[in-house]
């Protein structure tokens, strides 16, 4: 799966699940159940024990899934994820060296940014999406709308504060996709293997994205 296909899959789905668990087994369960719920994408944060090895395993055993790395904070970490086969790199902030490494490998890159200067710098560096993080403390959907006004050409992913009450508003404000963590993959649902709960949450968020996009047309 090449960079353009990864970009297209993220836009088509409209939801970018962030998997952040305390064990490898929980992470594997979360990825598989979110996929069964209709979202064939997972961002495995590097805070997961053995995250890099898990990325390699999933890329080998589940090639149909879009598996990427999240919370990538260093160039060394980025290179390890790229060597493991990560299809995208995501960071909470903007590190141009990480962006450069991803682009050298023709791998999608999604840095975090908050200010107009950061958004502009990231886009000029050739990123695939700009993850506006954290959204909620700076105005939520209202802030996404404000950023889209001067940057209508920038594909934004809203992250931080996306839940069932705000999801449609973020899409209507112009977000190309939604970065969602515990609201989609609750810790209790993973620890207690509440499979149907995760499936239902996945279906709900997908429906919200579809509904908001149909309203915005």
What is the reported pLDDT for 216? 66
CA separation for the pair 134, 53 (Å, rounded): 28
- pTM summary value: 0.95
Please state, as a whole number, how many other Cβ atoms lie within 10 Å of the Cβ of residue 199.
Answer: 17
Whole domain around residue 69: which residue ranges? 3-216
What is the reported pLDDT for 98? 98
Q: Write out the chain's pLDDT in tens, 217 residues.
A: 899 999 999 999 999 999 999 999 999 999 999 999 999 999 999 999 999 999 999 999 999 999 999 999 999 999 999 999 999 999 999 999 999 999 999 999 999 999 999 999 999 999 999 999 999 999 999 999 999 999 999 999 999 999 999 999 999 999 999 999 999 999 999 999 999 999 999 999 999 999 999 986 6
What is the reported pLDDT for 64? 96
Which value, to the nearest 10 degrees, does the dihedral of the CA atoms of residues 79, 67, 42, 118 take?
Answer: 40
CA separation for the pair 111, 92 (Å, rounded): 6
DSSP strand pairing (156-159 vs 112-113): unpaired
What is the reported pLDDT for 8? 97
User: Domain with 123 in it: what CATH number?
Assistant: 3.20.20.70
- Which residue in this structure is represented by tokens 């962030």? 18
Provide the domain count of the chain: 1
Which value, to the nearest 10 degrees, does the dihedral of the CA atoms of residues 88, 22, 156, 16 take?
Answer: 70
CA separation for the pair 109, 70 (Å, rounded): 10
- Is residue 46 within 8 A of residue 70, CB to CB? The reply is yes
Of 146, 106, 148, 103, give the one whose Cα is nearest residue 126: 103
* Cα-based distances in Å from 66 to 44, 61, 96: 11, 12, 23
Partners of 89 in beta bridges: 69, 109
- Is residue 67 within 8 A of residue 59, CB to CB? The reply is yes
Of 198, 189, 209, 4, give the one whose Cα is nearest residue 108: 4
Residue 83: both structure tokens together: 């060597």
Instruction: For 158, list phi and psi in degrees, rounded to 5.
Output: -80, 130
């Amino acid at each position: 799966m090449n960079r353009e296909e990864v970009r297209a899959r993220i836009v088509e789905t409209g939801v970018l699940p962030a998997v952040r668990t305390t064990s490898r087994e929980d992470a594997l369960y979360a990825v598989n159940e979110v996929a069964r719920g209709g979202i064939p994408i997972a961002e495995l944060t590097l805070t997961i024990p053995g995250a890099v090895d898990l990325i390699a395993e999933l890329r080998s055993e589940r090639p149909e899934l879009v598996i990427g790395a999240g919370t990538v904070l260093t160039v060394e970490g980025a290179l390890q994820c790229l060597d493991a086969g990560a299809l995208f790199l995501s960071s909470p902030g903007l590190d141009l060296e990480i962006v450069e490494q991803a682009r050298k490998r023709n791998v999608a890159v999604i840095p975090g940014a908050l200010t107009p200067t950061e958004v502009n710098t990231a886009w000029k560096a050739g990123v695939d999406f700009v993850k506006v993080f954290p959204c909620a403390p700076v105005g939520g959907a209202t802030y996404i709308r404000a950023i889209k006004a001067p940057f209508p050409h920038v594909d934004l992913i809203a992250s931080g504060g996306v839940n069932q009450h705000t999801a449609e508003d973020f899409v209507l404000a112009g977000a190309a996709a939604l970065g969602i963590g515990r609201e989609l993959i609750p810790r209790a649902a993973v620890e207690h293997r509440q499979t149907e709960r995760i499936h239902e949450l996945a279906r709900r968020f997908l429906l919200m994205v579809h509904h908001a996009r149909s309203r915005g047309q």
